[in-house]
Amino acid sequence: MAEQHQFERGTDGPKVIVVGVDGSDSSWRAASYAAGLARRQRALLAVVYVQPVLAAGAAFGAPVAETTDEIAEALIKEIRDATERLKGIFEVRWEFHTFRGDAYNGLVKAADELKADAVVVGASEQAGHRIIGSVAIRLVKAGRWPVTVVP
């Protein structure tokens, strides 16, 4: 009887690195850092944008889904432009994924579905997160993947 292969994280360096991007400066720094890791490890870089399900504007009839779709398209364009500029200098295999929900649960779902070996996020730029707890802190506390928080 053939032995079933079990997925093992981090045994030989990361093969899939998930990075959360939302257009903030810290998320772009995280993406740059993760791209460098992916290049050196010859890993797949999974760039993830989590589209909020409900924003404050939704209560007033703002077209939230259209707005977040536009953000996702703008992020993809920026990433494509950056990879085009670096073509021939740095080669990184990457994919772009969108998930819906809050940032924490969206990144957890992405990391699980994509079988992430590592997760990279930018440090929160919101003051309230120092008290309540940022997405990065919650990911670290989950203890399911190595998490790198880029300032």
Structure tokens at 132: 């309540």
Give the per-residue pLDDT at 59. 52
pLDDT tens string 58-83: 555 555 555 667 777 777 777 777 66
Closest CA to 142 of 104, 113, 114: 104
- Quick check: pTM over 0.85? no
Question: Is residue 110 within 8 Å of 97, Cβ to Cβ?
Answer: yes
Phi-psi category of 108—alpha, beta or left, where left has phi over 0 and alpha has psi -120 to 50?
Answer: alpha
